Amino acid sequence: MDRIPASERTREKLKALMEGQNEVGNGRSDLVRLAARLIIEEALEGEAGDALGRDYYARGAVPGSGYRNGYRAGRVKSAEGAIAFSAPQIADRTEPFRSRIREVVGGRTEALEALAVEMYARGLSTRDIEALFADEAGKSLLSRTAVSEITERLWAEYEGFASRDLSEFDVTYLFIDGIAERLHLGQPREAVLARGRGIKITEFEMRQLKAIRNEIDSGFAARHAPATSAALVTASPTRLSSKDRT
């Protein structure tokens, strides 16, 4: 388990949430917090990779560059509640490692939450990541390679969400909840799907519904059948035989 990046464990939690395996509290808030957590952890792991000069647990360390030494829990406060995350630790380094991303992310939770929503609404770009994780002068705290790799993984997250096959769900009723978010500063809010809930009924209940539907259809057909009143039928004149004529 220790060799699994924290971001991958967060992805598993997001997947479980979307599949309805661990629905607790407010589903929308849970989704936004987990998505924000994923973005933070991806950035922190990218920062650690930049400092070490190699990918997660890759060999070939340069002397004095240090090595990964587990994770340390972190937390930032946001409008959706506290966002917990895991920050990678680096030990045995000539120059002590200090995460600049941890220092700046606490004051950017509003932008972070906006990107958490946008990640599933339209996907994130390299510009989004660079702008969020930049210093006071606007310079990115991540290398171009790290930004590119993070964006690629988060884009895959969006594509996987947008192209999910929902045909496996046998749903009778589907309730859709939507929210309107401002995807770009200064622009009007746009509708974004937040949550859907499907309800499946038993075979017996389905037969009952069909029987009720048939009764409704029969009643409708009877009420709208063509009029056949006798008053509307024109009677043919009675023919008299020659014996009855005078």
Residue 205 and residue 158 in one domain? no
Q: Which of 135, 74, 78, 69 is nearest to 96 (CA)?
A: 69
> Rounded to an integer, what distance in angstroms lies between the CA atom of residue 114 and that of residue 186?
13
> Which residue type occupies 91?
A
The answer to the question of residue 74 being in a domain is yes
The answer to the question of residue 71 being in a domain is yes
The answer to the question of residue 240 being in a domain is no
Residue 140 and residue 33 in one domain? yes
Residue 12 and residue 134 in one domain? yes
Q: Reduce the DSSP state of residue 233 to 3 states and report it.
A: coil
The answer to the question of residue 179 being in a domain is yes
The answer to the question of residue 232 being in a domain is no
Residue 37 and residue 156 in one domain? yes
The answer to the question of residue 231 being in a domain is no
Residue 101 and residue 213 in one domain? no
What pLDDT was estimated at residue 240?
46
Residue 109 and residue 203 in one domain? no
Distant-in-sequence, close-in-space partners of 79: CB < 8 Å, separation ≥ 6: 109, 110, 113
What pLDDT was estimated at residue 22?
63
Token code pair at residue 116: 């958490």
Residue 55 and residue 35 in one domain? yes
Q: Which residues of the chain have pLDDT under 50?
A: 1, 230-233, 235, 239-242, 244-246
Residue 159 and residue 173 in one domain? no
The answer to the question of residue 230 being in a domain is no
> Rounded to an integer, what distance in angstroms lies between the CA atom of residue 82 and that of residue 203?
43
Residue 135 and residue 60 in one domain? yes
What pLDDT was estimated at residue 122?
86
Residue carrying structure tokens 């479980």: 16
What pLDDT was estimated at residue 28?
77
Q: Are 129 and 141 in contact (CB under 8 A)?
A: no
What pLDDT was estimated at residue 73?
94
pTM: 0.68
What pLDDT was estimated at residue 196?
58
> Rounded to an integer, what distance in angstroms lies between the CA atom of residue 65 and that of residue 95?
8
Q: Are 80 and 113 in contact (CB under 8 A)?
A: yes
Residue 55 and residue 74 in one domain? yes
Q: How many domains does the chain have?
A: 2
Residue 112 and residue 204 in one domain? no
pLDDT, one tens digit per residue, over 16-66 is 888 777 655 567 788 899 999 999 999 999 999 898 886 665 555 566 667
Residue 105 and residue 192 in one domain? no
Query: Which residue, 120, 136, 164, sits at the end of a domain?
Result: 164
> Rounded to an integer, what distance in angstroms lies between the CA atom of residue 202 and that of residue 208?
10
The answer to the question of residue 229 being in a domain is no
Domain span including residue 73: 6-164
